[in-house]
Amino acid sequence: MSRIGKKPIPLPSGVKAQIGAELEVTGPKGTLTVPIPEGIRVEQNDGRLEVKRASDEQAALHGLTRALAANAVQGVSAGFTRELDIVGIGYRADVKGKVATFTLGYSHPIEVLLPDGVDLKIEKQTHLVLSGSDRQMLGQVAANIRALRKPDPYKNKGIRYTGEALRKKVGKTGAGAK
């Protein structure tokens, strides 16, 4: 039996779940839908959601569906955040509306259009805080921003997640091979 799939999902106050062909979760931060695969059913009992499966053939989908539903419930009630740091001399970011502009040492600034549902706040031009209700979309936007200038293992420059541990590599030594 799936340990994750068995856990019930508590519904916080203000969050409503509508079960049909897919699970629709509505809360103060918006509405999210979760697909329900065949052989999996979602039940709502006294303020919590329970995910059940018909047979052991849906074991993998059981845990997955429960995790996606729990992420949707947390997203519409509290939301998610991802934090990034920009490290490097002259590297910085700026945001105007839904367009984020990055200066990352290239010959041109890079503009990124933020999708609906993802907000970006910039503190001190080098600390980025992404927030939104859809965990998957938020993680993808954060990964796309990080990919603009990945952390360099030799100079430790680039965009990294806050708290990401980088192993600094040793560069070449001055004495050349003869």
pLDDT in tens, the chain (178 residues): 567 778 888 888 888 888 888 888 888 888 888 888 888 888 888 888 888 888 888 788 888 888 898 888 888 888 899 999 888 888 888 888 889 898 888 899 889 899 988 888 888 888 989 898 888 999 999 999 889 888 888 888 888 888 878 788 888 876 655 5
Residue 51: per-residue pLDDT: 85
Q: Quick check: do 3-77 and 80-161 share a fold?
A: yes
In 3D space, the residue among 3, 4, 5 whose CA is nearest the CA of residue 52 turns out to be 5
Q: Where are the domains of the chain?
A: 3-77, 80-161
Tell me which CATH code domain 80-161 carries. Answer: 3.90.930.12
Cβ neighbours of residue 22 under 8 Å, at least 6 residues apart?
A: 33, 34, 35, 36
Residue 2: per-residue pLDDT: 62
Model's pTM, two decimal places?
Answer: 0.81
Architecture of domain 3-77 in CATH?
Answer: Alpha-Beta Complex (3.90)
